[in-house]
Structure 1
Amino acid sequence: MRYSTRIKPISYFKANAAEVLADLNDGAEPMILTQNGEAKAVVQDIRSYEKTQETLAMLKILALGMEDIRAGRVRPAREVFEEIKAKRRKNDG
């Protein structure tokens, strides 16, 4: 992704907020806002933000799973399924 054309001062965003939001809603790339020449914020559409958050959540789950594997906190799937079946039989019976 090339964000170089999407870097704008905050004054531009203030003056053109409705247009920027409409562009983002139409699929434009996120916009980096600067203040005194320094990057301060990123503005993006809500769908992209939610997708990013979902991706981060999945990566965190994956990292936690990898941590469990390294720490030896694993069991064979067959064993887990048998335990679930036994609990179901106990609850049904």
Structure 2
Amino acid sequence: MKLSTQVKPISYLKSHAAQIVDEISESRQPLLITQNGEAKLVVMDVQSYEEQEQTLALLKILAMGSKEIQAGKFRNAEEVFADLDRSE
């Protein structure tokens, strides 16, 4: 979590929902909501959420590729380019 993340109790969320939407939309900084002193959820703007999801998807693809390389499931670039040249 970023150091600039604000922390507020759930009662603040309940009583300031519209203000929170405006602030988070403008600042793009997430808001950590606590309940009984425990972190319970994070409120963030949609653009930040979508960017985070795209980043996670790319990381998953990289992890899958790394596992395939470790398992020996790959071809060197020269073979791939040679196949592409032959198919033209």
Larger Rg computed on CA atoms: 1
**In the alignment, what sits opposite 2:65?**
65
Name structure 2 gaps, 5 residues minimum. Answer: none
Alpha-carbon deviations, 1:28-64, whole Å to 9, x = none? 4100001111110000001111111111111111111
**In the alignment, what sits opposite 1:16?**
16
Which SS does the other structure have where 1:26 is aligned? helix
Higher helix content, 1 or 2: 1
Q: CA deviation at 1:2?
A: 1.3
Distance 2:41 2:76 in 1: 46
Aligned length: 87
How do residues 25-44 of structure 1 correspond to structure 2 at under 5 angstroms?
Answer: 25-44=25-44
Contact 1:33–1:43 at 8 Å: present in 2 too? yes
Alpha-carbon deviations, 1:1-29, whole Å to 9, x = none? 3146x111111011000000101110241
Name structure 1 gaps, 5 residues minimum. Answer: none
Deviates more, 1:9-18 or 1:75-84: 75-84
**In the alignment, what sits opposite 1:2?**
3
- Length-normalised TM-score, structure 2: 0.86
Distance 1:73 1:45 in 2: 39
Which SS does the other structure have where 1:20 is aligned? helix
- Length-normalised TM-score, structure 1: 0.82
